Amino acid sequence: MEQLNTQEAKKELKPKTLRELIQELINSNQFKYGSSIPINTLLNSLSIYPLTEHDAEGMSYKDMNERWKSDELEELNAANILRTLLLNEGKHFEKKSGNYRVCLPSENVTIADRFQKSAQRKIAKSRKLLLRTPKEFLGEINEISSKLLLLEKAAKKDEIH
C-alpha cells in the first residue's frame, strides 16, 4: 500500500507535458464559443512564462533576443496545438489584440470560406508550377496529372459541401 502511494506521489511530482496542460484547459470548459482569454493568462496556465523587463535586466541583447524567439516559438506551438484540438470540436481559435478567442459559430462559415479560397489559390499555383516545370524533371506525366486531378476534385468536393 505504501509503495502505491509513493508511485502516485511521483506521478504528481512529474511535470505535465504541454499537451496534458492544454487538454486540462479544454476539459475545464474555458474555451466556449465567444470566450476570450488574455495571452499572458493562457501562457501562464500552460507554464509558459515569457521574458519580462525584470527578467531581462542584466541580460545581453543576444541572450534577450534568443529568449524572445524561444518564448515566441513556445507560444506558437501551444496555440497551434490548441487550435487543432478546438478545430476538432468545431471551434476556430484566433489571436486578436492581446487576447486569444474562440470564434462564434456564426463566424465559422466566413472562416471556412476563407480557408477554401486560400486552398483554391494554392491549388492553382501548384497546377501552374507543375505545368510549367520542364518535363524531364517531372517523372511520370500520368503521376503528375493524377495528383493535379485529385487536388482539383478534392477542392470541388469541399466547395459543394
Q: 135 and 75, same structural domain?
A: no
The residue type of 114 is R
Cell of 23: 487538454
Provide the number of structural domains found in the chain: 2
My answer on whether 138 and 94 are in the same domain is: no
Residue 93 and residue 118 in one domain: no
Q: What is the mean pLDDT of the chain?
A: 82
Q: Please report, for the domain that includes residue 11, its CATH number.
A: 1.10.10
Q: Which three cell numbers stand for residue 31?
A: 474555451
Q: Are residues 66 and 131 in the same domain?
A: no
Confidence of residue 14 (pLDDT cuts 50, 70, 90): low
Kindly state the average pLDDT of the residues 35-64. Answer: 88
pTM summary value: 0.67
Note the pLDDT of residue 50: 83
| Judgement on whether residues 85 and 149 belong to the same structural domain of the protein | no
pLDDT digits (tens, 9 = 90+) for 71-127: 999 999 999 999 999 999 999 999 998 899 999 999 999 999 999 999 889 888 888
Task: Give yes or no: residues 55 and 30 share one domain.
Answer: yes
pLDDT band at 13 (very low <50, low <70, confident <90, very high): low
Euclidean distance between CA atoms 143 and 161, whole angstroms: 27
- My answer on whether 141 and 115 are in the same domain is yes
Q: Is 98 found in the same domain as 80?
A: yes
What 3 state SS string does the chain have? CHHHHHHHHHHHHCCCCHHHHHHHHHHCCCCCCCCEEEHHHHHHHCCCCCCCHHHHCCCCHHHHHHHHHHHHHHHHHHHHHHHHHHHCCCCCEEEECCEEEECCHHHHHHHHHHHHHHHHHHHHHHHHHHHHCCHHHCCCHHHHHHHHHHHHHHHHHHHHC
Take residue 100 and report the three cell numbers written for it: 486569444
Round to whole Å and give the CA distance between 150 and 153: 5
Cα gap 70→50, rounded to integer Å:
9
Q: Are residues 71 and 91 in the same domain?
A: yes
In the prediction, which pLDDT does 143 show? 66
Give the span between the Cα atoms of 153 and 161, in whole angstroms: 13
Asked whether residue 39 carries a pLDDT value surpassing 80, the answer given is yes
The parent domain of residue 147 ranges over 105-161
> 16 with 43, same domain?
yes
